[in-house]
Amino acid sequence: MSGIRLLALSGSLRRQSYNTAVLTTLAELAPSTVRVDFPGLGQLPLFNPDEEGLHPQVVALEAQIAAADGLLIASPEYAHGISGVLKNALDWLVGGAGFVDKPIALFNTSPRASHAQAALRDVLTTMSGQIVERACVTLPLLGTQADPVVICAQPDWAQALRSSLREMVLVINSRR
């Protein structure tokens, strides 16, 4: 089997983001046969359906989504919803075929943040993405100051993330 390419989408632009830290940790824990790429969602223009196909950043993101074997998505919860940066990216992608049947693992860094996770599941299912339940992970990072080094050093957290990657690899390889 050839290598697996996963695309990590963080709904946070914050420098010390727990969501980005989890995705970065996944990239560090990934086996050598799995590559994790990080597109910059903060550079996308605000969604305007009249401008579809006109922005190079959006076209590049669409190509990255289409080329990826699966997606790793983490979003903070803002006002009981998905972060604006992630929702904006998903709005740009909703009309494309890139999400159809794409395996997706969701990561939640705050067990209290259930509204955003529910909304994210609803949006991704509407976009025909396939959420891999056994690959979804919630880690209690809120208030911990955890970064990738701390996350890797916490055996239960690191194991949960490794298990998530294994599940994604199994699902992706079963479709090849």
How confident is the model over 73-131, as pLDDT tens digits? 999 999 999 999 999 999 999 988 998 999 999 999 998 889 999 999 999 999 999 99
Q: What is the mean pLDDT of residues 6-33?
A: 97
Q: Is the pLDDT of residue 1 over 90?
A: no
* Beta carbons of 98 and 67 less than 8 angstroms apart: no
Q: What is the mean pLDDT of residues 36-62?
A: 96
In this prediction, residue 2 carries a pLDDT of 73
Q: 135 burial class (0-12, 13-18, 19+ CB within 10 angstroms)?
A: buried
Sorted by where each begins, the domain ranges of the chain are 4-174
Q: Is the pLDDT of residue 52 over 90?
A: yes
In this prediction, residue 49 carries a pLDDT of 95
Q: What is the mean pLDDT of residues 52-70?
A: 96
Q: What is the mean pLDDT of residues 44-68?
A: 96
Give dist(CA 41, CA 85) in Å, integer: 7
Quick one: what percent of the chain has pLDDT higher than 70?
A: 99
- CATH placement of domain 4-174: 3.40.50.360
The secondary element (H helix, E strand) that includes residue 74 is strand 70-74
Mean pLDDT (the chain) is: 96
In this prediction, residue 75 carries a pLDDT of 95
Q: What is the DSSP string of 118-134?
A: HHHHHHHHHTT-EE-GG
- Amino acid 130 reads Q
Q: What is the mean pLDDT of residues 150-169?
A: 97
